[in-house]
Structure 1
Amino acid sequence: MTTTAQGEGPRIVGDALAKGVAGDLEGGVDLLVLLIAGGWSSAYALAAMLAETASHIARRDQQPGTVFGMPVQNTETGEWASAEVLPPHVRFAAQFTTAWANRDRAHAEALFTALYERSAPDGSEMVDGLLMLFQMAVCTSEEVIAEERAKREQGSGS
């Protein structure tokens, strides 16, 4: 990753999330290309920033001493299932975010490294996983904005 991309990573992610929240997911993804293409370190830093954002509400509301799990339920049957039934990019994003939220950096790094190595040579599986993380982070950002808007409206008596 270039020094410019390295130093600009948080700004790029912030700008991408702002575009995503504004409804321009494609524009947000376009901004992330530089970070994704920057190699393992850059892509891992991107995954970490997105997982931090995606897990914000859950971590904020977490009760002391609890950890996050990753329950998977079939929405049609109501039956519980293994994470293995999820599409690979969804499974990666969910597992990585769960590990990150639990502050299990070793597990998060191992998940990312496995994805990165599996994705060679074209990197498409890694890109799909990072884009799913991006979508999760956008959803969380939208929720945070809605919460803040509701608080402001309550405070103004509307």
Structure 2
Amino acid sequence: MTQPTTPDPAARYVRPTDRMDAWFNAAVRWLTEHGVSLLGSRVLTVRGRRSGLPRSTPVNLLTRGDERFLVAPRGNTEWVRNVRAAGEAELRVGRRVERVRLVEVPVAERPAVIRVYLERWGWEVGRFVEGLTKDSTDAELAAAAPGFPVFRVAAAA
């Protein structure tokens, strides 16, 4: 008899569960596209890895010191997979468009970024992060880090 395997944390993906998720994302995207950034929201547009067509989704742009980050609280979403394939994308607020290069942060460096992200947006993403909060221990954040892709945002070349 084979033993059940533990799911790979790096493959973690939390699916949207209801219409409220879709409505909330649509509202944030519409506002951001029209120049109203909600606590740092941006519309991320990246080339689809299979279709080659532009794909857009609202994201929260985290600024920490002189660095900027995108965190995927739902895990390995379509936008994460597309960014890994493309490497470059656009961040938009209203008419302001910034071409960026997105570099995935190593797992060991993610906990500190995830903590700051949860301090700022924990109220919004709490149901996607399996009980993590800004007050989670370093060990809890380190254990969860493989399932939370984080990208450093840099100017496109």
Larger helix percent: 1
Do they superpose with TM above 0.5?
A: no
* TM-score normalised over the length of structure 2: 0.28
Structure with max Cα Rg: 1
* TM-score normalised over the length of structure 1: 0.28
